[in-house]
Amino acid sequence: MLRVASVNVNGIRAAFRRGMGAWLSSSAPDVLLLQEVRADDEILADHLPHAEWHLAHEAASAKGRAGVAIASRLPMRAIRIGIGTGAPTDSGRWVEADLELPDGRLLTAASVYVHSGTAGTPSMAEKYAFLDAVTARLDGIVGGGGPAVVAGDLNIAHRTVDLKNWKGNLAHAGFLPEERAYLDRWFDELGWHDVGRRLGGDGPGPYTWWSWRGRAFDTDAGWRIDYQLATPALGERAASATIDRAPSYAERFSDHAPLVVDYDV
């Protein structure tokens, strides 16, 4: 089994201060896909040492924001930084690597952090332009025929079962019809598997993000915005998917919970 974990850490330094190290030891992933790292290469390596991990990282051009990384116990044979849009707001949002499986085959893994956006503002145009670039890359990856997993914080809930208060968010970023249509295309036209939903039941939930504010975590008023997308053959070999929701609000190391998937490769 190959264990792939994805999590928006909301700042890797803060996450480790809150107990991410203990979760990492107990979960023991082979591949770790991180979003909102908010650190430079040196700080990332301080927390995920090169002696234990092969690292690929793209920090955001704006210090202290975004940032995506791949930490792998499998050897990395190629690293590709960015999605190619050239927009400053897209930096720190896509990193991709080819990992060598024990039998010598290559697995493509990518960590992605999609803009949150705000409905009716220029930030939504930025989000849609980035999603267009992601769509083109997903098409290229699946067309290559090899196994691949693309995971991260997409900042989009796909269906009404993917957020608690869906009626109150129909006009808000993260649940707009135009955003959800991208996921329709990825799953229905390009053939990517939504592993978390396929193995997580019909819903509602399980959710992956809860606001730090109020009692959202305690009442499970969350959103499922963190995904693992797998190419068709790999998706069929996904054996289990777990959202590692913390036992209590005080034990959270991020406002997101890790999504952990075991693949029978």
Stated as kind and residue range, the H or E segment containing 108 is strand 106-113
Give which of 232, 209, 218 is closest to 8, Cα–Cα: 209
Tell me the CB-side half-sphere exposure of residue 259, using CA atoms within 13 A: 33
Pair 156, 186: CB distance under 8 Å: no
Classify residue 97 by burial, with Cβ atoms within 10 Å: 0-12, 13-18, 19+.
buried
Cis check for the bond before 206: say yes or no (omega within 30 of 0): yes
- Let me know if 153 is a catalytic residue: yes
Name the residue type at position 159.
R
Catalytic residue among 40, 41, 139, 153: 153
- Which tokens in the block code for residue 122? 């220029």
Q: Would you name the residues annotated as active-site residues?
A: 153
